[in-house]
Chain A
C-alpha cells in the first residue's frame, strides 16, 4: 500500500502543477486509529496528506455532484463504478473528472485485525495479502478488482499489476447465511438489528447513487416512537429498493453506519437477483448500459402472481 500511496500522491501533485484540476478529493489519516477521513487538496502542497490504505471504506464520489470545477478523485474500483452511474445520470460530466484509481486489494475490517493482534500502527501497510480473512463481506464477494475506467495513465504497471490477492478460505457472507434461513427467522434477525438504528440516515447520505438523501423520511414518526424497529426497517427497505440495479456494493453505507447494521446483507442479495433476472447485468461497468429498471422493454420472463 505504501508504493500505491506514493504513486497517487505524485499523480495528484502532477495534475495540480499542470493546472489540470482545481481540487483533489482523496483520503487522509482519520482522527482515530485505523480510520481514514475524506480530504480535499486545494493546492499542490496539500497533496502530501493524501493517503490510501486498506481502510478507505468511504465512497468519495458522493462529493462529486456537489463540487464545482475540475476534480481529481481517488477512487476504488467500486467507487469508479458509481462515478460511471453518476455520469450516466447526468450528475457529473466526464471531462471535469480525473479518476485516479488502482487495482484494489479489498478493504479490511479493523475489528478482525485487532482480534488477530495487529496493532493500529501498521494501518498504513497492512493489506489483504496478509489477512484475507479480515476482508469485509462486500469485498469477499467482489470480482471487479480492476477499475472499469481510470485516468492514471502514468503508471499502468501498478494499475494493472497482476498481483494475486488471495480470497478468504470461507467466502460465505452474512447474506448467504441469511438466505438459508426461513423468512420468519430473517425478519426476526432484521428486527433485532434495526432496534439499534438511530435513524441518522448516514447510510443514505453516504451513498452516491441515492438521490433522495433521506430527508423525505423526517415526517415519519420519530426514531424513539412506539414502532421504532419496524419504522426504521421500512425506510431502509425503501432505500434498498431505490438502489436496485444501481448499487455497486461499495459498502459505504454499512461502513458509515454508526451502529454497524449489516446493510450489505440486504444489498448483496438484491444485486444477485437483478443479475440473475436481467442477463448478468452489473451496474457501472460501461457508459452505455443503463439500469434494467429504466428500460421500457418486456421482462425477460414475466413472473405472474406468486
Chain B
C-alpha cells in the first residue's frame, strides 16, 4: 500500500442477536479479518434506516454489509424475512440510481457460525479491494 493510497473503509452493520454474536464467536475462535472493517450493532436488521446506508455511501464508505438472523429463524418473528425484502429493495434502488450496488451485501447467518462470518467478511473485503476505493460525493458538488 502506497503512502498516497488511502486505506479502505468497510462498514459492517450487525444485528444484535445473530450478526454481533457471530462476530463474538469469531473473536473467541481467534479468527482474523481485516482491521479496515468497522462493525456497528443494531437491535435488528429489519430496523435499518435506509438513510444509514445512503449516508455511509455518500460519505465515501467503500463497502457496506449487513449481517442478520437466518431465514425463518429470526430472533423476532419474521425479522429476517422482512429485512431481506427491505434490503433487497435497497439494492434495487442503488442499481436504478446507478450507484455501485455491488458494494452492498447481506449475510444471513447463525449466531454460532463464526467461521462463516469471517469467510464472508474476507471474501467481501477482497472484492472491494478489487473494485478499488469509492469516494462518495465528498467535494463533488457544483
Interface residues of A (CB under 8 A from B): 181-191, 195, 225-231, 233-234, 237-238, 240-242, 244-245, 266, 269-270, 273-274, 277, 292-299, 302-306
Residue B105, interface by CB 8 Å: yes
The answer to whether B89 touches A245, judged by C-beta atoms less than 8 angstroms apart, is yes
A276: nearest residue on chain B (CB-CB)? B92
Binary interface encoding of chain B residues 17-52 relative to chain A, with 1 for a CB under 8 A from any of its CBs, else 0: 000000000000000000000000000000000110
| Chain A residues with CB under 8 A of B107 | 304
**A206 to chain B: closest CB distance in Å?**
20
The answer to whether B71 touches A298, judged by C-beta atoms less than 8 angstroms apart, is yes
Interface size of B by CB at 8 A reads 38
The answer to whether A183 touches B100, judged by C-beta atoms less than 8 angstroms apart, is yes
| Chain B residues with CB under 8 A of A273 | 89, 92, 96
- Contact A241:B84 (CB < 8 A) given known A226-B141, A296-B77, A305-B105: no
Q: How far is the CA of A240 from the CA of B94 in the complex (A)?
A: 10
The answer to whether B88 touches A299, judged by C-beta atoms less than 8 angstroms apart, is yes
The answer to whether B98 touches A292, judged by C-beta atoms less than 8 angstroms apart, is no
B141: nearest residue on chain A (CB-CB)? A227
B57: nearest residue on chain A (CB-CB)? A234
The answer to whether A234 touches B58, judged by C-beta atoms less than 8 angstroms apart, is yes
| Chain A residues with CB under 8 A of B97 | 186-187, 190, 233, 237, 240, 266
- Contact A183:B98 (CB < 8 A) given known A244-B92, A299-B88: yes
- Contact A242:B50 (CB < 8 A) given known A226-B141, A270-B96: yes
Residue B2, interface by CB 8 Å: no
List residues of B (121-142) whose CB comes within 8 Å of A's CBs.
137-142
Residue B85, interface by CB 8 Å: yes
